[in-house]
């Protein structure tokens, strides 16, 4: 028996790119960004950076909600590293989210990050890719 | 026997968000974007839009490469729709990439889009999520 999924619709948006790697990507009546090839020294952002900005914001916002639910202020810092690599499978992005939550025990931070990983919609989209890792760090320089 | 994977490293970047849903997300020495809650009427972008910009640029750039390999100019237009929905699984993003390639038969467009889906790194990351769809359209108003 197929299980029907029920969704409550909350928000929708659309992003447009007609230019390819060199040009502009934009939200109608919203943000427009200049894009350029990551390996060329021309001004502009690229899919790697935009994905990193999306995931870091989603994880940070989700951690903020979890922190507040547990009586904490928002302390979590999120850094998302995106690498473009080439293999026999073609081009791939490897995505690592590193998270530091100051003034909290390591095990409490791990618990919060684990919850965030399962709740943040961008994290959920990436979780079956085989190219996504989440790390709790005590120090970003480690 | 484990198969070792060999990657040739091409590019890397990092995105940072310490603010959560209201504040700034940024690339060190690069793009900074104001972010805000998608359901609040405050200026700013959000993870949905940033993901849409990332995927639309990646798919458009990949289609551009495929078009050129086949002797075409870059004609493909990519629109990525991202919905935030709530269900018993919590919040999810549903992602649909709609692609129109003018001056090409529908079957040729389907062939190019299918190749792009398998080559674009952002598309590859989303392909196992169960929440990602790619559509070829003859007209965006259909």
Average pLDDT, integer, range A33-57: 96
Residue A104 near residue A70 (C-beta atoms within 8 A)? no
Measuring CA to CA, how many Å separate B140 from each of A9, A125, B53, B101, B137?
A: 22, 25, 18, 11, 6
Does one domain contain both B34 and B96? no
User: Nearest C-alpha of chain B: how many angstroms from A78?
Assistant: 5
Which of A15, A78, A24 has the alpha carbon at shortest distance from A46? A24
Segment B24-48 shows an average pLDDT of 96
Residues of chain A found within 8 Å of residue B88, distances taken between Cβ atoms: 6
Is there a domain that residue B81 lies in? yes
pLDDT in tens, B41-86: 899 999 999 999 999 999 999 999 999 999 999 999 999 999 999 9
| CATH code at position A104 | 3.30.300.20
* Candidates A10, A76, A132; nearest CB to B84: A10
Residues paired with residue B132 on neighbouring β-strands, in sequence order: B95
- Token pair belonging to A80: 């998302």
Structural domain including B41 reads 1-45
Are A39 and A51 contained in the same domain?
no
CB–CB of B30 and A14 under 8 A?
A: no
pLDDT of residue A141: 86
Whether the ipTM is more than 0.90: the answer is: yes
Residue A120 has pLDDT above 90, yes or no: yes
Interface membership of A129 toward B (CB under 8 Å): yes
Spatial CA neighbour of A81 closest among A134, A138, A2: A134
Does residue A108 share a domain with residue A89?
A: yes
Q: Mean pLDDT, to the nearest integer, of B1-9?
A: 80
Check whether B15 has a pLDDT greater than 60. yes
| pLDDT value, residue A5 | 79
What's residue A1's pLDDT? 56
> Do the chains contact at A39 and B129, CB–CB below 8 Å?
no
Number of structural domains, chain A?
Answer: 2
The answer to whether the CB atoms of A91 and B51 lie below 8 A apart is: no
B83 shares its domain with B56: yes
List of chain A residues whose C-beta atoms are within 8 Å of the C-beta of residue B81: 12-14
Contact between B124 and B118 under an 8 Å Cβ cutoff? The reply is yes
């Amino acid at each position: 028996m197929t299980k029907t999924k029920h969704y409550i619709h909350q928000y929708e948006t659309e992003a447009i790119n007609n230019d390819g790697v060199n040009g502009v990507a934009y939200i109608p009546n919203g943000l427009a960004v200049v894009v350029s090839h990551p390996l060329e020294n021309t001004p502009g952002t690229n899919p790697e950076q935009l994905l990193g900005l999306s995931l870091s914001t989603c994880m940070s916002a989700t951690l903020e909600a979890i922190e507040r639910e547990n009586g904490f202020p928002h302390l979590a810092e999120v850094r998302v590293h995106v690498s473009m690599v080439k293999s026999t499978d073609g081009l791939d992005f490897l995505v690592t989210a590193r998270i530091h939550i100051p003034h909290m025990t390591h095990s409490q931070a791990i618990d919060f990050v684990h919850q965030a990983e399962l709740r943040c919609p961008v994290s959920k989209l990436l979780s079956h890719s085989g190219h996504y890792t989440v790390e709790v760090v005590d120090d970003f320089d480690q």
